[in-house]
Amino acid sequence: MYQLPEVTRIVTVDQSGTIALPFVGAVLAGGHTPAEVRAEIASRLGQSVMKHPDVTVAVSESVGQRITVEGAVTQPGVYPVQGKSSLLQAIALAKGTSNIANERIVAVFRTINNQKNAAVFDVKMIRDGQMADPVIYGNDTIVVEKSAGKVLLQSLIGVVPILGVFRAADSASRL
């Protein structure tokens, strides 16, 4: 084990909720308390370079994060999030899915290490407990797919009352 001088670091949590420290590596801080992050850092330092590390973690500034929810939701928009959030909570911020949503195809777009990534989730399976509700981080974009069948049905429903009026008028003139 090494004799290391006292080291003080001020680090910024990146968009994926991670911090990077020498001798420790990447540590997921987003969605965790300072005590949980401290314990993880101390554990890693104790395994690699120090016998009894004394670690202190404090939040010096909390920047509000935002997510974008768009597609087939009732109220698309950009919403503030603080701390840990989930896909279902993000959809709830947008007042839920709309009546034309395909809840089986919900994409989450995230930038990690300057690279765009995407994952697709089935909200129905999440609600049924068949799939885990994924964590959503600041700067994520959630897109709820539109169901082509539901869009067509919605269009037909808008036309049917007009057709009903024409049929009633045609029937009355034939009497």
User: Pick the residue with more confidence: 98 or 63?
Assistant: 98
Q: With 80 as the cut, is the pLDDT of residue 40 above it?
A: yes
Question: pTM above the 0.85 mark?
Answer: no
Same fold yes or no, 1-63 and 65-150: no
Domain ranges of the chain: 1-63, 65-150
Task: Return the CATH fold of 65-150.
Answer: Outer membrane lipoprotein wza fold like (3.10.560)
Mean pLDDT of all residues in the chain?
82
Residue at 169: amino acid letter: A
Cα–Cα distance for residue pair 125/162, rounded to 1 Å: 38
Query: Is 1-63 CATH 3.40.50.1970?
Result: no
Instruction: Check whether 151 has a pLDDT greater than 70.
Output: no
The segment with the largest mean pLDDT, out of 27-31, 78-82, 118-122, 163-167, is: 118-122
Token readout for 136 is: 């959503």
Q: In what order do the strands lie in the sheet with 77-81?
A: 77-81, 65-71, 141-146, 101-112, 115-121
Summarised one tens digit per residue, pLDDT across range 10-20 is 888 877 788 88
What stretch of H or E contains 42?
Answer: helix 34-48
